[in-house]
């Protein structure tokens, strides 16, 4: 059984339709990517899964349970962690305070200190900066903190929205290496990313969105070899 099943969702902003019949699944322990150009509907898809948007049609299931109409906080409690584009930090709180604020579910609170050690193992710089205001961190450090806030929730599904956006090339590679390492540790990841080449190299499965519709799907390897994908997204 898939961890996440999205079936036929139509999503609107007011009367403007943003997604048409979007269907895909995420298997446990894999990296699944949703790729496409700006405005394709990638972020809208993640917002719908996390409950910030409600589809007009279609269903969303987590571990076989229909969560289509559940409130966002309930979905977090059920195991969905959404690391949004733009990071979503509290700039006037310290690093540690940001992590504590993210641990608001019962599961996260009970295991906070254990999870904190795991987070610090992944991001030793955050341990060094734990008393520093989040707003004073570098861009790369802020992205690390955003991902750490997702991990602190002990998620079943970790959704990363454009984690490499705005980072220097060296830091971009660090983000992708981290994503790979998290998968190796058993996390299930749904990745939205504009860096199509690097995302496909990581992905077990990938879906390409164009103007709110899925137009291609396949393994990362299959799509890397797809001539249309090469022309449209890889400049080859």
The mean per-residue pLDDT over the stretch 33-45 comes to 94
CATH placement of domain 1-79+193-236: 3.40.50.300
What does the pLDDT average to over 35-51?
95
Instruction: For 110-162, write each residue's pLDDT tens digit.
Output: 999 999 999 999 999 999 999 999 999 998 899 999 999 999 999 999 999 99
Nearest to 233 by CA among 213, 207, 204, 205: 207
For the CA atoms of 146, 13, 61, 200, the dihedral, rounded to the nearest 10 degrees, stands at -60
Tell me how far apart the alpha carbons of residues 22 and 45 are, in angstroms, rounded to a whole number: 8
For residues 20 and 8, give the distance between their C-alpha atoms in angstroms, rounded to a whole number: 7
pLDDT score of 18 more than 60: yes
Query: What per-residue confidence (pLDDT) applies to 99?
Result: 96
How far is it, in rounded angstroms, from Cα 197 to Cα 127? 32
Q: Which helix (H) or strand (E) holds 122?
A: helix 112-122
What's 209's DSSP letter? E
Give the DSSP letter of residue 92.
T
Q: Which of 36, 2, 29, 30 is nearest to 202 (CA)?
A: 30
Spatial separation of the C-alpha atoms in residues 24 and 32, rounded to whole Å:
10
* Average pLDDT value for residue range 9-24: 97
Over residues 19-30, mean pLDDT: 98
Helices 169-184 and 139-152 pack at an angle, to 10 degrees, of: 20
With 80 as the cut, is the pLDDT of residue 47 above it?
Answer: yes
Positive or negative: CA dihedral 187, 188, 190, 196: positive
Q: Give 220-235 pLDDT, tens digit per residue.
A: 999 999 999 999 888 7
Residue whose C-alpha is closest to residue 50's, from 153, 195, 165, 134: 153
Q: pLDDT at position 236, please?
A: 57
Q: What is the pLDDT of residue 169?
A: 86
Q: Strands, DSSP E only, in the chain?
A: 4-13, 16-26, 31-35, 57-62, 65-66, 80-83, 157-161, 188-193, 205-210, 213-218
Q: Give per-residue pLDDT as tens, 58-107.
A: 999 999 999 999 999 999 999 999 999 877 899 999 999 999 999 988 88
pLDDT in tens, 158-194: 999 999 888 888 888 888 999 999 999 999 999 999 8
CB of 137 closer than 8 Å to CB of 128: no
Listed by start position, the domains of the chain span 1-79+193-236
């Amino acid at each position: 059984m898939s961890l996440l099943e999205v079936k036929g969702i139509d999503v609107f902003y007011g009367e403007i339709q943003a997604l048409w019949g979007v269907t895909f699944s995420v298997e446990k322990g894999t990296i699944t990517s949703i790729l496409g150009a700006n405005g394709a509907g990638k972020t809208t898809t993640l917002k719908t899964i996390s409950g910030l948007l409600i589809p007009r049609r279609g269903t969303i299931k987590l571990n076989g349970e229909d969560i289509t109409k559940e409130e966002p906080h309930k979905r977090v409690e059920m195991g969905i962690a959404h690391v949004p584009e733009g990071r979503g930090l509290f700039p006037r709180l310290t690093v540690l305070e940001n992590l504590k604020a993210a641990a608001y579910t019962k599961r996260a609170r009970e295991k906070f200190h254990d999870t904190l050690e795991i987070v610090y193992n992944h991001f030793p710089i955050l341990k060094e900066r734990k008393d520093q205001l989040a707003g004073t961190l570098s861009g790369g450090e802020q992205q690390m903190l955003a991902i750490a806030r997702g991990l602190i929730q002990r998620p079943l599904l970790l959704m990363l929205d454009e984690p490499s956006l705005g980072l220097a090339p060296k830091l971009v590679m660090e983000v992708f290496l981290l994503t790979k390492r998290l998968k190796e540790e058993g996390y299930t990841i749904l990745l939205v990313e504009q860096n199509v080449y690097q995302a496909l190299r990581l992905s077990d499965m990938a879906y390409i969105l164009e103007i709110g519709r899925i137009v291609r799907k396949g393994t990362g390897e299959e799509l890397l070899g797809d001539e249309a994908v090469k022309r449209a997204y890889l400049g080859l």
